Every structure is written in C-alpha cells, then in structure tokens.
C-alpha cells in the first residue's frame, strides 16, 4: 500500500526453518496494477487487490498455476481482503471508506461504511472483523451484524493486522516502523521495531504457526521476520531494489508491500513498484505439522492432511522409507484418546483415510507411531 497524499507515504508449530529459503518470480504484469492486499481461499488461490495508486478497481484470483481471473471490478481502490467461515469475501475500499461483502455466488453488498481509509482486514475467533484505518490512526471492530466501533487508537499509518491464537492483535505502523501488540481488551504496547524504522515503510503482516511474524518493508526492499519474543531479523532481500531470484539472502525486491502464507509454508509477496508477485519457499512447515519427530530417513513421514479443516473425513499423507506396521493415534486438544488406525504399509507414499471419530468440532491431533517410536504429529481442524 503506497500512500501519496497529505499523509506521509504507506494452527501451533514449535519450530520453523532457519535457512534454505528460496525466492522466485511467480507472476509479472498479467492484470496486476499496484497490487496490495492478499488473502488465500480454501482451494489455494491467491486473491489480490489492485490498489493502483488509489485509482484501482479490480480484485484478481490467481490460481496455483498463475492463471489470472478478475473476480471484482467495481471496488474503489481495493485494499484489504479477508474471507469469513462461510466463504464470503470482504474488501476494504480505501477511497469510499466502506467494507463490501461478496457471497460465494458473486452477490456484492455493502457491509460497513464510515471508515477512514480502511486498509487491512482480519477476523477474530468470534468472526468480528477488524479494520486498520490508515487515515485515522485507529483499528475498528465490526460485529457480524455490521456494528462498527473503535477497538484501539494511537497508531501512525496502521496497515497490517494479524491475530495470534490468544486473541492478541498485531498492527504494523507504516510511518514509524513499529509493530504494536493489542490485547483482547484493547491495551496497546510496542512489540517490535524494525531497523532504521523511519525509512522502512512497513506494510502487511502474516503470522506462521511457529509464532513468527512476517513483514514486508517497502522502503527497505526487504522481508523481515519477527520472532515470538519480538526479535527482528531479515528473512529475504539484500536491501537493493531489483528483481533477482535465488537464495533469500541474495534475492532482491522492488517495493514489497503485501504478504500471505500458504498451507505449504511458503510466502507470497507483492511488489507494488514492479507489478509483480514473488514466492519465498521453505519459510514454515506445512499447515498442520506440529512435530516432525526423529530423522525419517529409515522410517516414516507424516506429511499433511487434506482437506483441512474437515467435517466427516480427511486423508493423511504418509511416506514410508521401508515396509512396516504403523499406528495413527487420534487425540483431542485435551489429550484424550479419540481413536486409532493400524496399517501395514509398503515402501512409498500412502493416503490414509481418517474419520472424525465423533468429534463435533475444534482441534485434534494425529500422531504416527511405529515400533514404539513417534514419527510425527499433525494438528487437524474439525469443522462443527
């Protein structure tokens, strides 16, 4: 999000990768016009708002194979994007100060009005929608019924919003390079400050299941990683403007602004200046993986499950490096046993169906055992 106006221009993992990230170019041009806010739908499509210097009107759907589809052309400088649990897409219109809502069938209506240059969007666990008001220095809370109130204030060019599992909201400040932490009852503290903050022009936020935050700095041409303790390091980018792909520590960016984390643990990054989208691979473990267990080179890998979330049945992806007998134990979030599955597997890949064992909703865990040894645990999400 680049501001040229009277304003100054702007599921739990226990580990993440610390090296080996690679940057590649995912898409250039192809309808991109000052790409800004990102979100990802349930089938892995990237949804992109074309802010276009404040004159953009379109929202794009970009498939995993980089095909581009215009899904909205009536927005007024679309900025933030978010989906609710029913699949409705919410769009913040920066110029008109409203939030629109589009149904899965494509019917678009106004959801809330009277906001001050609304930017990023984020839902809490009760599906209240939070909006950063870039123009007003506030964050608004909108109930599912559309009632608007001020949740927190005192920010300077707030843009990025992301929640942690405890309900704390993180807010990036474009003008100051500060990321604030806001408790559920609205208490604001400084969580982290990026290096050379006055020139950073920090933008949107993403949070991995490791607890790390990821943050593009438009002014630094870098992507920062912020640990759960608030320590700031460079994830990718040399600081020189450019488009060089390759290892993250030697790659170049040109005005990165939005960011989204995929289920595979990769990061999409938009480059406002270049009308380009980059992909950083190997940032986090895939969604659902809680613990990879011991080295699997002579054993088994519990890779992922699909769909996730699921209601009646999901499928576990298991790779066996050798034949053997495995047991998959399903436990609730409280640690209670819900069921188990036993299989004799040959060397190779296996797709193992798992029913919900009568669970009505929430989090459960699938743990792979063989010969008395744990080979990994996945976090599964069960729809109510």
Residue 141 has pLDDT above 50, yes or no: yes
Dihedral sign, CA of 169, 133, 279, 379?
positive
The answer for residues whose C-beta is within 8 angstroms of residue 167's C-beta and 6 or more apart is 124, 125, 183, 184
Residue 142 is predicted with a pLDDT of 98
Q: Which residues share a beta bridge with 267?
A: 261, 280
Instruction: Read off the pLDDT band of 300 (50, 70, 90).
Output: confident
- Average pLDDT along the chain: 88
Statement: residue 237 has pLDDT above 80? yes
pLDDT, mean of residues 152-168: 95
Alpha-carbon distance of 158 to 344, in angstroms, equals: 54
Residue bearing the bigger pLDDT, 13 or 223: 223
Q: Are 119 and 132 in contact (CB under 8 A)?
A: yes
Q: Is 313 or 154 the better-scoring residue by pLDDT?
A: 154
Reduce the secondary structure of 46-88 to three states and give it as a string. Answer: EEEEECHHHCCCCEEEECCCCCEEEEECCCCCEEEEEECCCCC
Per-residue pLDDT at 285? 60
350 and 318 in contact (C-beta within 8 Å)? yes
DSSP class of 250: T
Mean pLDDT over 112-132 rounds to 96
Q: How many helices (H) and strands (E) does the chain have?
A: 0, 33
CB 170, CB 213: distance < 8 Å:
yes
Lowest mean pLDDT among 208-212, 235-239, 267-271: 208-212
The span from the first CA to the last CA of the chain, in angstroms, equals: 36
The whole-model pTM stands at: 0.74
H or E segment and range at residue 146: none
Q: Is the pLDDT of residue 12 over 50?
A: no
pLDDT digits (tens, 9 = 90+) for 303-362: 777 777 777 888 888 888 889 999 998 887 667 788 889 999 998 888 888 887 887 777
The per-residue pLDDT for 297 is 60
* Across 218-226, average pLDDT: 97
Q: Is the pLDDT of residue 109 over 90?
A: yes
Q: Is the pLDDT of residue 178 over 80?
A: yes
Of 21, 22, 34, the C-alpha closest to 60 is 34
- In this predicted structure, the answer to whether residue 6 has a pLDDT above a threshold of 70 is no
270 vs 63, 258, 374, CA distance in Å? 15, 5, 39
Q: By three-state DSSP, how is residue 342 classified?
A: strand
Q: How confident is the model at residue 19 (pLDDT cuts 50, 70, 90)?
A: very low
Above 50 in pLDDT, residue 13?
no
The pLDDT score that the predictor gives to residue 132 is: 98
Query: What does each C-alpha distance from 10 to 16, 94, 95, 156, 173 come to in angstroms?
Result: 29, 12, 14, 10, 8
**For position 287, what pLDDT does the model report?**
53
pLDDT in tens, 272-297: 999 999 999 878 765 554 444 555 56
Instruction: Please give the residue that has the higher pLDDT: either 374 or 240.
Output: 240
> Residue 115 is encoded by which pair of tokens?
């906001």
Judge whether residue 114 has pLDDT over 90: yes
Pairwise CA distance, residues 326 & 370, whole Å: 5
d(CA 23, CA 344): 39
Task: Tell me what pLDDT residue 198 has.
Answer: 95
More confident of the two residues 209 and 286 = 209
Q: Which of the four pLDDT bands, split at 50, 70 and 90, describes residue 131?
A: very high
Q: For position 326, what pLDDT does the model report?
A: 92
């Amino acid at each position: 999000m680049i501001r040229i106006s009277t304003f100054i221009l702007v599921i739990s993992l226990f580990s993440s990768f610390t090296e080996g990230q690679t940057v590649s170019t995912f898409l250039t041009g192809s309808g991109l016009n000052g790409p800004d806010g990102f979100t990802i739908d349930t089938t892995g499509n990237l949804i992109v708002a074309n802010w276009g210097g404040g004159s953009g009107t379109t929202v794009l759907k970009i498939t995993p194979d980089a095909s581009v589809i215009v899904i909205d052309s009536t927005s007024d400088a679309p900025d933030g994007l978010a989906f609710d649990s029913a699949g409705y897409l919410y769009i913040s219109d920066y110029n008109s100060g409203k939030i629109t809502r589009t149904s899965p069938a494509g019917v678009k209506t106004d959801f809330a009005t009277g906001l001050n240059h609304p930017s990023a969007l984020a839902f809490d666990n009760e599906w209240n929608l939070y909006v950063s008001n870039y123009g007003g220095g506030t964050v608004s809370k909108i109930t599912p019924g559309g009632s608007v109130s001020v949740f927190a204030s005192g920010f300077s060019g707030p843009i990025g919003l992301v929640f942690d599992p405890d309900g704390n909201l993180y807010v990036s400040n474009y003008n100051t390079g500060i990321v604030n932490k806001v408790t559920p009852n609205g208490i604001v503290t400084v969580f982290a400050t990026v290096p050379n903050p006055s020139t950073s022009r920090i933008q949107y936020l993403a949070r991995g299941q490791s607890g790390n935050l990821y943050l593009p700095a438009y002014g630094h041409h870098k992507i920062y990683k912020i640990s759960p303790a608030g320590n700031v390091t460079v994830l990718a980018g040399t600081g020189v403007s450019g488009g060089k792909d390759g290892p993250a520590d030697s790659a170049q960016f040109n005005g990165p602004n939005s960011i989204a984390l995929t289920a595979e643990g990769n990061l999409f990054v938009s480059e406002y200046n270049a009308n380009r989208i980059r992909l950083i691979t190997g940032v986090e473990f895939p969604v659902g993986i809680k613990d990879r267990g011991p080295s699997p080179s002579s054993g088994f890998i519990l890779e992922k499950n699909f769909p996730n979330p699921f209601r009646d049945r999901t499928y576990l992806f298991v790779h066996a490096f050798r034949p053997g007998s495995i047991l998959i134990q399903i436990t609730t979030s409280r640690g209670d046993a819900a069921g188990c599955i036993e299989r004799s597997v040959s060397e190779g890949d296996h797709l193992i169906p798992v029913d919900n064992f009568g669970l009505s909703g929430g989090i459960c865990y699938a743990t792979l055992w063989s010969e008395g040894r744990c080979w990994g645990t996945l976090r599964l999400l069960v729809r109510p």
